Amino acid sequence: MKNKNFLIFIASVISCLWFSQGVMAAKGIYIPLFTYKTGPFAGSGIPTGNGMADYLTMLNERDGGIGGVPLIVEECETGYNTKKGVECYEKVKGKNPAMINPWSTGISLQLIPKTPVDKIPLLTMGYGLSAAAVGDVFPWVFNYPSTYWNQASAIIKYIGHQEGGMSNLKGKKIGFIFLESGYGREPIPLLEELSGELGYDFFTIPVAFKESQNQSSHWLKVRKEKPDWMIMWGWGVMNPTAIKEATRIKFNMEKFVGVWWSGGEDDARPAGKAAKGYKSANFHGIGTDYPAIQDILKYVVDKGKSQVKDRSRVGENLYMRGVFNSVLIAESIRAAQGKFGNRVVNGEETRWGMENLNLTSARMAEIGLQGFTNPIKISCDDHANNGPIFIQQWNGTSWERVSGWINSMDRVRPMLEKAAAAYKTKNNVPNRTIPCS
Amino acid sequence: MFYREAGQFKTTYISDQELFPVKQDRWGILLIIGFSFIVIPLIANDYWLQAILIPFLIFSLAALGLNILTGYAGQLSLGTGGFMAVGAYSCYKLVTIFPETNVILLILVSGFFSAGIGLIFGIPSLKIKGFYLAVATLAAQFFFEWLFGRVKWFYNYNDSGAIEVPVRKFFDIAVTGPIATAQTRYVVVLCIVTFLALIAVNIVRGRIGRAWMAIRDMDIAAELIGIRPLTTKLIAFAISSYYAGVAGALFVFAYLGSAEVEVFDINISFEILFMIIIGGLGSISGAFLGAAFIVLIPILITNLPRMLGMPINAATVEHFNFMILGALIVLFLIFEPHGLAKIWTIMREKLRVWPFPY
């Protein structure tokens, strides 16, 4: 009889699954959020995911959505795993999503070819394929406010500035430690090319994912190479480990610069005072002083509608990164509604909104985030905004901004175009047919 | 009552040697195949095809491959992910080098590359056994992860370090690439999996399969009755890796659409090993049942709270997922160590004597 019950169980399971599809038909703009609050990258994924959800919930609670249309926010857990990410995409694509935020370069790479077919835009905020900045080849992919290549070139510029001029980079040694994945490998072509041009010595240290927590051998190599500067492209548990190891070999933390994904409070905090001086790139402000963040506290966190357990975590760097992502989502939808009317917009319409996004300083002030980030203006041709970045420094307990906005180098754009053209020929991407404007 | 083979007389050797000698089995299999070829493509939506059925079939194929090696020939392997990666990357290279050739053919050919690699990594199996062999095959896993991640030639010097599946057509229907519909890809995968599964059924009941089982059950005795351990084990490695390679190629070409080497990490090897342990070692149907279990249960658990209208956040569900799946695996191993295939056999016996069990 045990077996019979088993059979009934299986049958009911299958029928349940079958009928569950296509039930969702609530009124509102459907925004799926891919999160990874589990797995090895959860340390970075939890604050970003919470920031994203909280801002959108705040819009629902305070304004009743965007343009009077409520937002239906649904999280799909990817665990930063590509296979689960694809499954999430398949799950949400039939529900008329306004856009997809994959939150993983690996998942982005899978989805980029699918988006034009399914007519769903992809927002990879400061991650993903750098070449996607070229809107002519990738009409459905947006990576504003900046690409990894922009950022890498800005970091080199910053280093040049610290050394007293770009010409002083000649003969300097710059090491690049990265998470061995599509994400970590992204900036290497640019850094290599710049090394030939500016004359610095360049070496890379890949950290395989499974060695994330055990980097002593990698940093031994760093000690042997004696670099003048180290640049890090890390994520998840790799970040705090690398920072700790760097302090252990007594590397000059002032000369250790992380990507904007290596600048979380939780990345630097474990190393404590020793990490003082560590720098990382960033493109948005932190802290709770912004009116919009006060609204999040008021409408969401204090009402218990947030997944944030500790009120003090609101306003931290990665939380704000999530908020920023949702600001971009919301403003893109608003732009789309500006053309198509205040109603539920579909992927195609949101795409138009993303391509015509113009986030001015005045607009930022209006939404309660004055000075939060540099203005963003997207065009048909440029999907990345070529945004400038700034450098922040860890003072032992929190991040402090230590530089002004650093623009990327002009030479990045031609390289992006070259990479996009190569992608286009390799993958037989058809010519863009979507009209501009 | 059901499953009674009484009255099914075999009057010729050919009919006695049929693939499925019992009529009910034969009809059952035909029914399943017919259903999956005709009915499913018509009624299933994209989510079912793309997120559930295609990965289920591909994992079944990989599990089938590992079951040949571990279940039938008794050689424990943890290198399945590596062999799948070999299949995927060689398929990618073949497809980009010979853009005109039929992609389905190339997927099948790419299996031969991983078969060759499997042969090489199978050589130590002559001297080492059990857990030690598992460690040796683990070397394959790590080696290929390293190789395909570091040597740029394998991914055609793409800046992203990922392999991207180009559009390839077969009689003007896109079979691979983003514009291929889920239906087409499903049918392609189903054809290949059915074809290879039928071959596997034939191999394991023939001379080679019996030699494998003899080696598995007691290698010295097998040697004494004239079975060569060298060739037998190596054939097992080659065929198993072939299946894994084709599964890997399909995984990228029919399922993911583009991949970094990280998708073939050690976890996938473990997942496939769990599949055959849960499904049943040394059984073809076990590979399918185990794959269904490992692929479907997490999807079910993820979707369950929403179906029941319980608002549990996605991360919590994922934690539950790990716990429930883990518990199920442990319970299975305690209550039915021979796997789902054994449950099916027991059920068959019961059906046979129903309604008068003795």
Chain segment A215-266, per-residue pLDDT in tens: 999 999 999 989 999 999 988 888 999 999 998 888 999 999 999 888 888 8
- Residues of A whose CB is below 8 A from B52: 17
B202 falls in which pLDDT band (50, 70, 90)?
very high
Q: How many CA atoms lie within 13 A of B78 on its CB side?
A: 18
Token pair, residue A402, equals 């230590």
> Is A270:A243 a contact under the CB 8 Å cutoff?
yes
- The answer to whether B179 contacts chain A (CB < 8 Å) is yes
Size of interface A-B (CB pairs under 8 A): 142
- Say which of B150, B160, B299 has its CB closest to residue A109: B160
Contact A77, A84 (CB under 8 A): yes
pLDDT at residue A429 in the model: 82
Flag whether pLDDT at A128 surpasses 90: no
Distance CA A221, CA A227 (A): 10
B154 DSSP 8-state letter = G
**Alpha-carbon distance A402 to nearest alpha carbon in chain B (angstroms):** 31
Mean pLDDT of A406-411: 83
Is the confidence at residue B257, as pLDDT, over 70?
A: yes
Q: What is the pLDDT of residue A434?
A: 85
CA distance to partner chain A, nearest, from residue B164 (Å)? 7
pLDDT at res. A267: 85
Pick the residue from chain A with its C-alpha nearest to B48: A18
State whether A185 and B160 contact (CB < 8 Å).
yes
Average pLDDT over residues A124-145: 87
Q: Is the pLDDT of residue B1 over 70?
A: no
Poorest-pLDDT segment among A241-255, B9-23, B31-45, B136-150:
B9-23
Q: Which domains does chain A have, with CATH numbers?
A: 27-146+287-385 (3.40.50.2300), 148-282+390-409 (3.40.50.2300)
- Supply the pLDDT for residue B247: 96
> Per DSSP, what are the bridge partners of residue A77?
A35
Please say whether the beta carbons of B148 and B90 come within 8 A. Answer: no
- Tokens describing residue A42: 């959860």
CA atoms of B81 and B84, how far apart (whole Å): 5
Min distance A92 CA to chain B CA atoms (Å): 9
CA distance B120 to chain A (A): 25
Check if the beta carbon of residue A52 is closer than 8 Å to that of residue A325: yes
Q: How far is CA B56 from CA A126, B245, B293, in A?
A: 34, 16, 9
Residue A437's pLDDT band (cuts 50, 70, 90): low
**Placement of tokens 């090491």 in the chain:** A175
Is ipTM > 0.85 here?
no
Q: What confidence score (pLDDT) does residue A22 get? A: 42
Domain locations along chain B: 23-353
Examine the pLDDT at B228 and tell me if it is beyond 60: yes
A186 and B160 in contact by Cβ < 8 A?
Answer: yes
Distance from CA of B223 to the nearest CA of A (A): 40
Contact: A90, B51; criterion CB under 8 Å: yes
Judged by average pLDDT, the poorest of A14-23, A287-296, A394-403, B284-293 is: A14-23
Asked if the C-beta of B164 comes within 8 angstroms of chain A's C-beta atoms, the answer is yes
**Fold of domain B23-353:** ABC transporter involved in vitamin B12 uptake, BtuC (1.10.3470)
Cβ contact A419–B48 (<8 Å):
no
Mean pLDDT of chain A: 86
Residue in this structure with the two tokens 């990879």, named with its chain if needed: A124
Residue-wise pLDDT tens digits, A52-109: 999 999 999 999 989 889 999 988 888 888 888 888 888 888 888 999 999 888 888 8
Mean pLDDT of all residues in chain B? 88
User: Does B318 contact A94 at a Cβ distance shorter than 8 Å?
Assistant: no
pLDDT the model gives residue A174:
92
Can you tell me the mean pLDDT for B257-269?
Answer: 86
- Please write the tens of the pLDDT for every residue from B308-349: 777 777 778 888 888 888 898 888 888 888 888 888 888 888
Give the pLDDT band (50/70/90) at residue A1: very low
Residue A370 makes CB contacts below 8 A (sequence gap 6+) with A290, A361, A364
Is A94 in contact with B260 (Cβ distance < 8 A)? no
Average pLDDT on B135-157 reads 88
CB contact under 8 A, B51 and A186: no
How much is the pLDDT for B172? 78
Query: Terminus-to-terminus CA distance in chain A, angstroms?
Result: 66
Q: pLDDT tens for residues A22-50? A: 444 458 899 999 998 888 888 888 889 99
With bands split at pLDDT 50, 70 and 90, how would you rate the model's confidence at A2?
very low
pLDDT band at A12; cut points 50, 70, 90 = low
Interface of B with A in 89-148 (CB under 8 A): 96, 145-146
pLDDT above 60 (res B56): yes
Q: What percent of chain B has pLDDT over 90?
A: 41
CA nearest B49 in A: which residue? A90
Closest residue in A to B181 (Cα–Cα): A117
In this predicted model, what pLDDT tens digit does every residue of B159-184 receive, in sequence order?
777 888 888 888 878 888 777 888 88
Would you tell me which residues 287-316 of chain B have a C-beta closer than 8 angstroms to some C-beta of chain A? 296, 299-300, 302-304, 306-307, 313-315
Q: Is the pLDDT of residue A184 over 90?
A: no
Quick one: pLDDT at residue A24?
44
User: To the nearest whole angstrom, how far is the Cα of A311 from the nearest Cα of chain B?
Assistant: 19
- In the numeric block, the tokens 């399918």 are attached to B288
pLDDT at res. A5: 58
- Residue A306's CB: how many other CB atoms inside 10 A? 21
Q: Strand A376-377 to strand A256-258: parallel, antiparallel, or no bridges (unpaired)?
A: unpaired
Q: Taking CB atoms and an 8 Å cutoff, what residues of chain B touch A13? A: 296, 300
Closest-CA residue to B262 (of B111, B136, B140, B144): B144
Contact criterion met (CB < 8 Å) for B258 and A129: no
